[in-house]
Amino acid sequence: MNKVALVKPAILITILASSLFLQAVSAPSEASEVEITPKVRVRGPRGRGGGKPTPGAATGVLGTKPPSPKDRWAVVIGISDYYGTANDIEYADDDALDVLEALIEVYGYDRKNVLLLVSDYKVNNATREDIVKAIDWLKENAGKNSEVFFFYSGHGARGKADDGDREAIDEAMVPYECSSASLIWDGELRTMFSNFETSRIVFVFDSCYSGGMGDLKADGRIVVMACSESGLSYEGDAWQNGQFTWYFADQGMLEGLADTNSVDGKVTVEESFDYASANCAFQKPAIIDSFENDMLP
């Protein structure tokens, strides 16, 4: 076991699986120097929570009101059980289920408008094909005035990919197959979402290297990332979640603890991000907010 210097002295955590890199077999035409990195499992108390957000993404001013529930659409992905057994993690599927609950119970999404993709289920698995089809499903249903919410929790990857952007190092989501050929690169995601009619889209990534998903930025969009472009994402028994999702969705949204900027019983995406950023240890969440003022889903 390796010990790690703590960002927050109040939390004592032992790393169980630090620096675990899974070198994927890569086809030269797809990508090179690929690293697939699972979330880091930690053991120890979750910390006190209740960190006070410093001035951050939230302005305290609500932007355009959300559309009716019939015009809000979401894809929620959480992959804990990867192909085989060596690559499994514990709580990404719990992250997805909690975000699903937040969308429905807190923000009034219609369950029929939310596509849940988790691993080891008989339907709606989370292979590359399933995820691509889910994004196509969003595109088919979301109109000009719709709201779209896209959430992913699982492994992260990085490497050199010919994915349509000019980055030297690219970042990727890791579908169920957990192979280089299955990765969905940031440039690919940008292309998949490039011709959506709506400009009201929220992306949330709880995975290693997720800070590199800034390629998705565009007017009206918010891109929420659990860590920096070179950082790792954490999960643990104390949270029963990924650390970021615990503070962002469970505590921030479901428990309402992120309602701190302007206490009005409404938790915006920016408030949830600021609350999570104030409480996460070891990882530094990031946000690219191109939505005017604050978004209430």
Asked, for residue 61, whether it belongs to a domain, the answer is no
User: Does 62 fall in a domain?
Assistant: no
Residue 1 — pLDDT band, cuts 50, 70, 90? very low
Query: 19-28, 110-119, 166-175, 261-270: which has the highest mean pLDDT?
Result: 110-119
The answer to whether residue 294 sits within a structural domain is: no
Looking at the predicted structure, is the pLDDT value of residue 28 above 80? no
Residue 29 has pLDDT above 80, yes or no: no
The contacts of residue 278 (CB under 8 Å, 6+ apart) are 51, 52, 53, 54, 56
Identify residue 204 by its one-letter amino acid code: V
- For residue 35, give both structure tokens: 């690293």
Domain span at 259: 14-47+70-289
In a domain, 54, yes or no: no
pLDDT-derived band at 63 (thresholds 50, 70, 90) equals very high
Query: Is 52 among the domain residues?
Result: no
Residue 63 located in a structural domain: no
- Comparing 226 with 30, which gets the higher pLDDT? 226
Positive or negative, the CA dihedral 7, 15, 250, 289 is positive
- For 169-218, write each residue's pLDDT tens digit: 789 999 999 998 999 999 899 999 999 999 999 999 999 999 999 999 99
75-87 CB burial, b ≥16 within 10 A, e <16: bbbbbbbbeeeeb
CATH code, domain carrying 249: 3.40.50.1460
Does residue 57 sit within a domain? Answer: no
Bridge partners of 205, per DSSP, are 152, 225
Number of domains in the chain: 1
Asked whether residue 58 is domain-assigned, the answer is no
